[in-house]
Every structure is written in structure tokens, then in C-alpha cells.
Amino acid sequence: MKAKEILVDSTPLPSAETPLNNQIEWRVLDGLAPYLDTVAAMEARVAAIANGTAGEAIWLLEHPPLYTAGTSAQAADLVEPDRFPVHASGRGGQYTYHGPGQRVVYVMLDLNKRGRDVRKFVSALENWVIGTLDSFNVKGERREGRVGVWVTRVRLGPNGQPAEDKIAAVGVKLRKWISFHGISINVEPDLSHFTGIVPCGISDHGVTSLVDLGLPVTLTDVDIALRENFAKAFGETT
């Protein structure tokens, strides 16, 4: 797939209502999307999908530097509360960071049509990330008891075993069986920004990115890989 096939939307935010069809609407939002406005637009789109006036959508975007607190966030995990804006989020999980160089993917899919199975849906999101990373010859893995997708490093961790770093986060919410929020993949963010929190409540592992792994990957490269790997993960055509 060529980069020009990924729609770039220069408007501030997409409209909530889009004509219904059998295709997922993919949008790349230009610039740094303001968090609260974007979440409001996403929730409006979810409501429109639920009432039948809009189709499914996937938004690919970047946020300015900020921290979000999921429904399981612990106050002690916000190490530097004054460093960046902090937003409460209705998604599952704990604290996470969003910022430039990180591809945030908001996934608005209708599980009424895809099967009302939360575990299967989260597994599909993880498979989507793993498949996308595999496009760059990066082996992403799940870890029991830890959310997100991880990569094993050549250095040793504090336990003497090969270190593991988190490269992608997963956090979703369902409303009337319509999904929102979604995933984030570290492409080339400032990794020092993660030190203001304990990412996802896990303090004994690190954070990495595709560029940190030595790969000259851009956000556009990741967008193309996400589009190409979607069907395999979700059993759908795009």
C-alpha cells in the first residue's frame, strides 16, 4: 500500500457522522490533536455508530505531551504530576504517556456485528500490534500479567534475565458494545517523558520505540503497516 492511500485529514477533527457503508473509515489526523477535543469527537462518533447514523472508524493521530489515567490508575504512579497535563480516561488500565512521535490509534468498531467477546477483541488488538511490528522485523510479545506488547532486549535486566521493554500500550472501553480508545505504538517519542509516571504500574521494566531499536521507521510507515495488518488480526477486509 502506498502512503498516498492513507487519508490525511487537515481539519481539526473528523465529523461524528459519516454515511454508512461496509468500509471502515480510516483517517490520519494532521498535527497534534488536542486530547479533550479528540476524545469528545471520538465519543460523539461512538454514539453515532451505536444509533446507526455512522460507520466504524479508525483514527491515527499524535497528541501533545500528556499523561492519561485509566480506570485502575494509582496516585503513587504519577511521579511528576506537574510535568505535563494529566487527563482522567475512561479506558481500562493505569497511567500512560502520549506525545509526539507516538502513533495513537483510536479504534471505533461495532462489536455487535463482530461478536460480543471482550477477550477476543483485546486479543485481536494485541495481534494487530504484533503483526504491525513484525512488518519491521520486530518481535512483539505478550506477557502474562502485563498489559501491552513487549520486546526482549540484548541487555540484562535487574534479575539477570534479558531485559524487556514495552513498545505498545492497549487500553479500550466499550459503550453499547462499540469500542473506543485503543492502542499506541512508540515510533520515535521522547522516551524520557515516560519517567514522569510508572507506565501501566510496572516499574521493573523499561520502555522502547522502533527508532530506539535502531530502525529508521516513520509514522507513515507504521500507518501503512497498520492498514496492511488489520484484516489478518480482525478477520476483515479493509
Length of the chain: 238
Of the candidates 2, 202, 207, 228, the one whose C-alpha atom is nearest the C-alpha of residue 133 is 228
> 76: phi > 0 → left, psi -120 to 50 → alpha, else beta; which?
alpha
| Residue 113, all three cell numbers | 456485528
Handedness of CA 93, 118, 224, 40 (dihedral sign): negative
Per the annotation, binding residues for substrate are 91-98, 169-171, 182-184
pLDDT of residue 198: 82
Domain ranges of the chain: 25-234
pTM above 0.85, yes or no: yes
> By C-alpha distance, which of 112, 111, 218 is closest to 226?
218
Binding site feature residues: 91-98, 169-171, 182-184
pLDDT of residue 204: 64
State residue 14's pLDDT score: 77
What is the chain's pLDDT, residue by residue, as a tens digit (238 residues)? 333 333 334 445 777 766 676 789 999 999 999 999 999 999 999 999 999 999 999 999 999 999 998 888 888 889 999 999 999 987 877 889 999 999 999 999 999 999 999 999 999 999 999 999 999 999 999 988 777 899 998 665 566 567 899 999 999 999 999 999 999 999 999 999 999 988 755 566 789 999 999 999 999 999 999 999 999 999 875 4
Task: Output the CA–CA distances (angstroms, integers) from residue 91 to 8, 164, 170, in the order listed.
Answer: 26, 24, 9
pLDDT of residue 237: 53
CATH class for the domain made up of 25-234: alpha beta
Q: Please report the pLDDT score of residue 155 as a whole number.
A: 66
pLDDT of residue 94: 83
Query: 18-74, pLDDT tens digit by residue?
Result: 667 678 999 999 999 999 999 999 999 999 999 999 999 999 999 999 999 888 888
Other CB atoms within a 10 A radius of the CB of residue 223 amount to 23
Q: Which of 185, 200, 202, 225 is catalytic?
A: 200
C-alpha cell of 114? Answer: 463482530
Confirm whether 200 is a catalytic residue. yes
